[in-house]
């Protein structure tokens, strides 16, 4: 095969991170990858994670044995509670099959693989259901679902004029999509736009999806970053579960625990209320376990242990929520600061979208040309679509960034 392997393009996001690292300018600013940075532009190990680290270090029983194929049960069971609610009927009724994954990417992959095998809504194995992705979406979604042989389509999401949600276009596309399509939904803090449906809009979306028999595939990577409140950020998923959908959830703890490299995540299959729910859950879990065994054998232990310690201890759990508020609060402060500075400079255009959008990202509206210029002239790095990771801003660089945006917008 070596002779015929073509050169693949570099991953845009990790390529951006590499270019930033290689830039020797002291003024450089990294607004690229969605990873939290503190006021000093440094990675932040959550204080509660440090405590969990300490507990693991001092545990004489700790070892490096394999986890079971489905992962650490004390982690996956709490992960389900975090997303569905501790008193969720779906959990009490045994309707949730949870399996630990290689963070959110691994959960999307395992979910895609599972659906490509077992979701056969047209009774014809060669006619696969299409996965509808928001336009735009996290770039990796495209290749994750293509890689498991599922066709991809898009639904309108971002309205360039209002820099908000194109709810009309989205609803029309969901109505026009073939029945029983798979619809990928960002649970909260949409990546890359920072634009989420309102609770009323979620209800409208759910109604259309129920009428069309669509299958919801939720990706939740930013729970705690949208509103700062874990329950509110899970409201869309909980609504769909309450409405009785059969659905799946890809859950990442990379961002909200700051466990990026530890790859702590979970995949949940929630079946619709039924008399044989227990049997469905057992069968689904058995197939997920079989797929997992050939894919990764069993998931990594360390991040799961850290999260499990925190999620199972009321005091540490409360502290985690406090740490989450620290991160989301600083991001909100930076949104306000960036908007205020742009408005003070009288930068052409409107900038309210910076504070209207939520979560880790802002979709600035800068075009590809402006993004290239701001990188060349000011050493400020962001993705080509004009997305900035708000966490890369701090009180020392926000004026510099605003000044640079002002300059490229006027050019
Ligand atoms: C991002 O979009 O920046 C993050 O989700 C990081 C990633 O893995 O792409």
- Does residue 400 lie in a domain region? yes
Q: Is the pLDDT of residue 236 over 90?
A: yes
Verify whether residue 255 is a known catalytic residue: yes
Q: What pLDDT, on a 0 to 100 scale, did the predictor assign at position 310?
A: 98
- Does residue 189 lie in a domain region? yes
- Does residue 342 lie in a domain region? yes
User: Bridge-partner residues for 183, per DSSP?
Assistant: 132, 216
State if residue 33 touches ligand 1 by the CB under 6 angstroms criterion.
yes
Question: Percentage of residues in the chain with pLDDT exceeding 90?
Answer: 97
Residue 24: CATH number of its domain: 3.90.1150.10
CA gap 167, 157 in Å, rounded: 7
Q: What pLDDT, on a 0 to 100 scale, did the predictor assign at position 30?
A: 97
Q: How many domains does the chain have?
A: 2
CA–centroid distance, residue 33 to ligand 1 (Å): 6
- Mark whether 18 and 120 lie in a shared domain: no
CA–centroid distance, residue 99 to ligand 1 (Å): 22
Q: Region 285-312: what's the mean pLDDT?
A: 98
Verify whether residue 138 is a known catalytic residue: yes
CA gap 286, 69 in Å, rounded: 10
Q: Are 407 and 377 in contact (CB under 8 A)?
A: yes
Compute how many other C-beta atoms are within 10 angstroms of the C-beta atom of residue 356.
15
Q: What pLDDT, on a 0 to 100 scale, did the predictor assign at position 201?
A: 98
Q: What pLDDT, on a 0 to 100 scale, did the predictor assign at position 126?
A: 85
What band does 124 get if pLDDT is binned at 50, 70 and 90?
confident
122-131, 169-178, 243-252, 304-313: segment of lowest average pLDDT: 122-131
State if residue 140 touches ligand 1 by the CB under 6 angstroms criterion.
yes
CA gap 341, 402 in Å, rounded: 6
**Average confidence score pLDDT of the chain:** 96
Q: What pLDDT, on a 0 to 100 scale, did the predictor assign at position 255?
A: 97
Q: Which of 12, 105, 107, 138 to mutate to test the pocket of ligand 1 (most atoms within 8 A of CB)?
A: 138
- Does residue 321 lie in a domain region? no
- Mark whether 33 and 174 lie in a shared domain: no
Domain end position, chosen among 260, 284, 312:
312
- Does residue 39 lie in a domain region? yes
Domain end position, chosen among 283, 312, 341:
312
State if residue 13 touches ligand 1 by the CB under 6 angstroms criterion.
yes
Question: Percentage of residues in the chain with pLDDT exceeding 70?
Answer: 100
- Mark whether 90 and 163 lie in a shared domain: yes
- Does residue 3 lie in a domain region? no
Q: What pLDDT, on a 0 to 100 scale, did the predictor assign at position 379?
A: 98
State pTM to two decimals.
0.97
Q: What pLDDT, on a 0 to 100 scale, did the predictor assign at position 2?
A: 87
Compute how many other C-beta atoms are within 10 angstroms of the C-beta atom of residue 140.
16
- Mark whether 347 and 263 lie in a shared domain: no
- Mark whether 246 and 366 lie in a shared domain: no
Q: Region 6-25: what's the mean pLDDT?
A: 95
Q: What pLDDT, on a 0 to 100 scale, did the predictor assign at position 155?
A: 98
CA gap 286, 288 in Å, rounded: 6
Domain end position, chosen among 287, 312, 337:
312
Q: What pLDDT, on a 0 to 100 scale, did the predictor assign at position 39?
A: 95
- Mark whether 20 and 156 lie in a shared domain: no
Q: Are 76 and 99 in contact (CB under 8 A)?
A: yes
Q: Which residues have C-beta within 8 Å of that of residue 370, sequence separation ≥ 6?
A: 386, 408, 409, 411
Q: What are the tens digits of pLDDT across the range 328-368?
A: 999 999 999 999 999 999 999 999 999 999 999 999 999 99
CA–centroid distance, residue 105 to ligand 1 (Å): 9
Q: What pLDDT, on a 0 to 100 scale, did the predictor assign at position 137?
A: 97
Q: Are 62 and 309 in contact (CB under 8 A)?
A: no
- Mark whether 111 and 235 lie in a shared domain: yes
Q: Is the pLDDT of residue 125 over 90?
A: no
Q: Is the pLDDT of residue 292 over 90?
A: yes
- Does residue 67 lie in a domain region? no
CA gap 167, 205 in Å, rounded: 9
CA gap 97, 94 in Å, rounded: 8
Q: Which of 140, 253, 258, 390 to mutate to test the pocket of ligand 1 (most atoms within 8 A of CB)?
A: 140
Q: Are 197 and 167 in contact (CB under 8 A)?
A: yes
Q: What pLDDT, on a 0 to 100 scale, did the predictor assign at position 256?
A: 96
- Mark whether 334 and 293 lie in a shared domain: no
CA gap 288, 251 in Å, rounded: 15
What band does 1 get if pLDDT is binned at 50, 70 and 90?
confident
Boundaries of domain holding 153? 73-312
Rg (CA), the chain: 21
Q: Region 77-105: what's the mean pLDDT?
A: 97
Q: What pLDDT, on a 0 to 100 scale, did the predictor assign at position 11?
A: 92
Q: Is the pLDDT of residue 35 over 90?
A: yes
Q: Largest Cα–Cα distance in the chain?
A: 65
- Mark whether 127 and 205 lie in a shared domain: yes
Q: What are the tens digits of pLDDT across the range 183-223?
A: 999 999 999 999 999 999 999 999 999 999 999 999 999 99
Q: Is the pLDDT of residue 275 over 90?
A: no
- Mark whether 106 and 242 lie in a shared domain: yes
How many Cα atoms sit within 13 Å of 384 on the Cβ side? Answer: 10
Residue 284: CATH number of its domain: 3.40.640.10
Annotated catalytic residue, options 44, 138, 320, 351: 138
Q: Are 113 and 291 in contact (CB under 8 A)?
A: yes
What band does 278 get if pLDDT is binned at 50, 70 and 90?
very high
- Mark whether 254 and 372 lie in a shared domain: no
What band does 5 get if pLDDT is binned at 50, 70 and 90?
very high
Verify whether residue 202 is a known catalytic residue: no
- Mark whether 107 and 37 lie in a shared domain: no
Q: Which of 342, 341, 338 is nearest to 389 (CA)?
A: 338
User: What is the predicted ipTM?
Assistant: 0.91
- Does residue 58 lie in a domain region? no
């Amino acid at each position: 095969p070596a002779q015929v392997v073509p050169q693949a393009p570099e991953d845009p996001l990790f390529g951006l991170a590499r270019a930033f690292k290689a830039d020797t300018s002291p003024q450089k600013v990294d607004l690229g990858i969605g990873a939290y940075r503190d006021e000093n532009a440094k990675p932040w190990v959550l204080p509660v994670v440090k405590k969990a680290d300490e507990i693991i270090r001092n545990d004489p029983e700790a070892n490096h044995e394999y986890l079971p194929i489905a992962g650490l049960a004390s982690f996956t069971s709490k992960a389900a509670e975090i997303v569905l609610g501790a008193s969720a009927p779906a959990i009490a009724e045994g309707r949730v099959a949870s399996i630990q994954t290689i963070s959110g990417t691994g959960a999307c992959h395992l979910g895609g693989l599972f659906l490509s095998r077992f979701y056969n809504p047209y009774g014809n194995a060669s006619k696969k259901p299409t996965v509808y992705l928001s336009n735009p979406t996290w770039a990796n979604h495209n290749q994750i679902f293509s890689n498991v042989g599922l066709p991809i389509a898009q639904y309108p999401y971002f309205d360039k004029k209002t820099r908000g949600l194109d709810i009309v276009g989205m609803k029309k596309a969901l109505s026009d999509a073939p029945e029983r399509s798979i619809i990928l939904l960002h649970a909260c803090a949409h990546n890359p736009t920072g634009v989420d449906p309102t609770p009323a809009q979620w209800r409208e979306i759910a109604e259309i999806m129920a009428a069309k028999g669509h299958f919801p595939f939720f990706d939740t990577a930013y729970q705690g970053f949208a509103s700062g409140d874990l329950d509110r950020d899970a409201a869309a998923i909980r609504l769909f579960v309450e409405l009785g959908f059969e659905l799946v959830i890809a859950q990442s703890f990379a961002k909200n625990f700051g466990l990026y490299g530890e790859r702590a995540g979970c995949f949940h299959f929630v079946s619709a209320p039924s008399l044989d729910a227990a049997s469905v859950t057992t069968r689904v879990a058995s197939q997920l376990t079989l797929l997992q065994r050939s894919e990764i054998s069993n998931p990594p232990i360390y991040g799961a242990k850290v999260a499990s310690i925190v999620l199972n201890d009321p005091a540490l759990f409360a502290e985690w929520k406090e740490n989450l508020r620290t991160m989301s609060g600083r991001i909100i402060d930076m949104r306000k600061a960036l908007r205020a500075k742009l408005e003070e400079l009288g930068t052409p255009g409107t900038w309210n979208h910076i504070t209207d959008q939520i979560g880790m990202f802002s979709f600035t509206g800068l075009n590809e040309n402006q993004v290239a210029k701001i990188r060349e002239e000011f050493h400020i790095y962001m993705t080509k679509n004009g997305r900035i990771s708000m966490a890369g801003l701090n009180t020392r660089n926000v004026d510099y960034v605003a000044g640079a945006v002002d300059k490229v917008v006027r050019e």
